[in-house]
Amino acid sequence: MRNHIFNRRKRSAAIMMLTGVFLTGIVLAGFLLGGEKLGVDLDARNQGPSYAHLFGTDWLGRDMFARTVKGLSLSLAVGIIAALTSSLIAFILSSLAGWSRWVDQLVTFLVDLFLSIPHIVLLLMISFAFGGGFIGVTAGLALTHWPTMTRVLRAEVMQVKQTEYTQISKRMGKPGWWMVVHHYLPHLLPQLFIGFILLFPHAVLHEAAITFLGFGLPEEQPAIGVILSESMQYLSSGMWWLAFFPGLSLLLMAAAFETLGRNIRRWMDPFHGRK
């Protein structure tokens, strides 16, 4: 039994290393790619996948592998910033909900209000309000993905608030921030981590969707949504690689991040480590 658990932990560690290397490679490759790799080469237009161009080239001779890697690094940055910000907002609001009844009612009202508005509409409105581009899209994603997590964390806070040790701390006059740090935070960390893992692929795919529709990142940036949008008019002529490889790479990155988070949780949580 102990060997079985140890083998599972070793397998989880190996998966974490592989996915970590994959995600780190995306970041480094996107940072190190120079303008010459993304430049126009009219002599290499419309070439299919080959050893020289793994993902082929587009109608301007641009290397699709370089554009895809650059787009993935942009999506990774947007997804991480948006997911972290949404998780932080959800934690702050759920913690405030445990302080007093009227604050809890206000937080519940805000959650219901944001959930009642169509998600894409609200995302586009916030993105336009922040001026669009990278900052606008990131702000829109961060400010629209927190309500569901807030509802989950608030329910956890309400349970912890009714426990005996929390009531004792309250009678002893402990301040609210002390109770948040010592009582709420230890219980909320697992949910925060899981929520962040779930929010990342959701945010990345939403960014690609609104960029594909022309409301996200600007066209001069090689974002995955921009690549997919531009490739639509060339698919009928048989240039399938323009959309296939970027779209598949985006899905693989989202799946890799989810796999990394799941195995980190299994590694850190003794209960899940025995499964």
pLDDT for 175 equals 67
pLDDT for 89 equals 92
pLDDT for 55 equals 86
Give me the chain's average pLDDT, please. 79
d(CA 129, CA 67): 29
Model pTM score: 0.79
Q: Report how many domains make up the chain.
A: 1
* Long-range contacts of 236-243, Cβ-Cβ distance < 8 Å, separation of 24 or more: 239/46, 239/56, 239/58, 239/59, 241/48, 241/49, 241/55, 241/56, 241/64, 242/56, 242/58, 242/64
Q: Report the Cα 49 to chain-centroid distance in Å.
A: 29
pLDDT for 86 equals 92
pLDDT for 172 equals 74
Per-residue pLDDT tens digits for 159-190: 777 777 676 667 777 766 666 766 777 777 87
d(CA 32, CA 134): 19
Q: What CATH number does the domain containing 51 carry?
A: 1.10.3720.10
Q: DSSP secondary structure string, 32-88?
A: H--TTTSS--GGGTT--S-SSSTT-B-TT--BHHHHHHHHHHHHHHHHHHHHHHHHH
d(CA 57, CA 38): 11
Judge contact between 79 and 204, C-beta under 8 A: yes
pLDDT for 35 equals 64
Which range marks the domain in which residue 267 is found?
2-273
pLDDT for 1 equals 46
Residue 235's contacts (CB-CB under 8 Å, 6 or more residues apart) are 242, 243
pLDDT for 275 equals 47
Which structure tokens are listed for 85? 């910000």
pLDDT for 17 equals 79
Give the chain's residues under pLDDT 70: 1-9, 12, 34-37, 165, 167-169, 175-179, 181-182, 265-275
